[in-house]
A and B are shown apart, each in its own frame.
Chain A
């Protein structure tokens, strides 16, 4: 984890890099996000808490006199470094508001989104990916067929999905991963930096429904995995996969457990029969995901 943090620091201007490198080891290894906003304090997200960084590497939950402030020129410098001085080469990603970095990290970019391009970048949020090898140990025995991982943003859905794919791939399951943002595989410029196992094919394609169709026709997978099922087109492709005898592993956002059946997409997914297991992640149970069968969920939760 610290290695990813250090690699992210290389994109930052010298002054900010110096402050971040003075952080203690624990903060470096547990840091989830580095947020830079023009003329605002430099802050980190560590274990879901926002911390402000001082010039001496100390952190605080409040803004102090020593808190490092990020200048507009430093934002611009960071942005150009993230693009490796090739803004045009990242146009497609920037239109969606982010830049994919090696090792699965992602930099969300905010600014003035003009008609043709992003101009006047005002803030950058660098989300540090962390591969947790072995985090799927507790859930893998229960995953026999279709599985959906539910949780709030930042609860570790992608991390768990990645590890499940890795472990199943090492058990010689043929897996196709539809990776729309390069987050699952940590891919950048055609190179996958995270371990998804020896039997995994990775499709980097924005349209997940189309990706599922392509994988089904050409890669003959036993399992198809993708992140964040979010619309009816993707659900429709899931049904096609079910009809073709392919299992799916996917994730979906929920705010809390009551949202499972309130959200149309999650309810439709559970009722479709495409998934048999639900893995529930919450902030409290981050390290110990809970596994339910779909019938349990459908019978126990109220609409």
Chain B
């Protein structure tokens, strides 16, 4: 009886943990997009008001952003938090950074900021509804497994 009870607890715990890990990826994407968006806003301000070269501007805007890796004049998306479409969008943005005049750079940054804001909204609603659903589902699956085994 005790063994069965501990087995049930273990299965439930594993199911909940699996659900948490899965929902964590949704939250991680949301957080990564928030960081990148914050970086782009800072970048836009620096492009508008400073004469610093791109290397300095990138460092000052994105040094806290874990999913962006900086190398000289270039910035790259790294890590697994973001989806493939997010990575492509950001790569497009960074590839043309610094190649035009101030107004054009700011307009581009604003456009990408808007695109990323939309993605962030989607990520937030996905995280909110998805997390609850995944955790509930994982608990139900855990229960079902327990019932089957018992």
Which residues of A pack against B, CB within 8 Å?
80, 83-89, 91-92, 94, 116-118, 189
Contact = CB atoms under 8 A, between A and B. Distances in A.
Contacts of B53: 84-86, 89, 189
A89 B99 CA distance: 10
B85 interface: no
A246 to B, nearest CB: 31
Interface string B59-86: 0000000000000010000000000000
B54 A117 contact: no
B47 interface: yes
26 contacts: A84-B53, A84-B54, A84-B55, A84-B73, A85-B53, A85-B98, A85-B99, A86-B53, A86-B54, A86-B57, A86-B73, A86-B98, A87-B100, A88-B98, A88-B100, A88-B102, A88-B105, A89-B51, A89-B53, A91-B101, A92-B51, A94-B101, A116-B101, A116-B103, A117-B100, A117-B101
Contact of A80 (B57, B99, B105): B99
A94 B105 CA distance: 16
Contacts of A87: 98-101
A83 B100 contact: no
A189 B50 CA distance: 12
Contact of B101 (A80, A85, A88): A88
Interface in B71-126: 73, 97-105
A82 B135 CA distance: 55
Nearest to B52: A89
Contacts of B52: 86, 89
Given A88-B47, A89-B52, A89-B53, A83 B98 contact: yes
A117 B102 CA distance: 9
A80 B53 CA distance: 12
Contacts of B104: 117
A50 B1 CA distance: 98
Nearest to A88: B102
Contacts of B54: 84-86, 89
Which of B101, B102, B104 has the most C-beta atoms of chain A within 10 angstroms of its own C-beta? Answer: B101
Q: Which 8 A-B pairs have the closest CB atoms?
A: A117-B101, A85-B98, A86-B53, A88-B102, A86-B54, A85-B73, A86-B98, A89-B51
Contacts of A84: 53-55, 73
A91 B47 CA distance: 12
Given A87-B99, A89-B52, A89-B53, 9 more contacts: A83-B98, A84-B54, A85-B54, A88-B98, A89-B51, A91-B101, A92-B51, A117-B101, A189-B53
A29 B54 CA distance: 32
Contacts of B102: 88, 91
A225 to B, nearest CB: 26
B60 to A, nearest CB: 13
Nearest to B54: A86
A96 to B, nearest CB: 14
Contacts of A83: 98
A118 B103 CA distance: 12
Contacts of B105: 88
Contacts of A94: 101
Nearest to A83: B98
Contacts of B100: 87-88, 117
Contacts of A80: 98-99
